[in-house]
Structure 1
Amino acid sequence: MLIAKPCTSMGGVLVQLYLWDKEVKIEISKLAQELKQKGYKIKTLIPGIMVVTEIDGYEASIYPSGKIIIKDLRDEKKAEEIARKIYDLAGVNIED
């Protein structure tokens, strides 16, 4: 289940993926490589902790738990669309 809600502390939208039968785990360094190969700018990479990228004109912070914070965005549907791209590049099947 994909949940998007306003994140007032970061001024954007927080997107979190919950899977019933397994823990969400994103390999941050691998995701950063995939993002870079697709032409997305990597602003910050802290292996095992987080990656900050620019995607569709928005800055997104991505964590190993699958949590994504997209700054300066108020549209939750757009946030879900961006998150789906990120999960796809991370190899996370959100339909599980």
Structure 2
Amino acid sequence: MENHFMKRSFLTLPLVIALTTSAAISQSLPPDDHQNVASLQSAADQGNSDAQLKLGIMYFNGQEVPQNEAKAAEWFQKSADQGDENAQKALKALFR
């Protein structure tokens, strides 16, 4: 049982690092540079892979939206399908 926990913890570490780094970068931007959730959602719905990744991160962390790993995975998948490497890494770590 302890091995399973250690393995899962080790495998999710890259996801945690990627998501916290992205969150830190987003927090460091001036407030007027932040996109609100509605405009981000609109861009993501139109196929913007960066917006899709950001929404995935927001849902994963529960940042400005309710935390929802299933929705996070959906947005990561949409971004990954367009070739976004960070979204691909997030998906791999999420489903290990």
- TM-based fold match above 0.5: no
Query: Larger % of strand: which?
Result: 1
Q: Which has the larger radius of gyration?
A: 2
Structure with the higher helix share, 1 or 2 = 2
Compute the TM-score of the two structures, normalised by the length of structure 2.
Answer: 0.29
Q: TM-score, normalised by structure 1?
A: 0.29
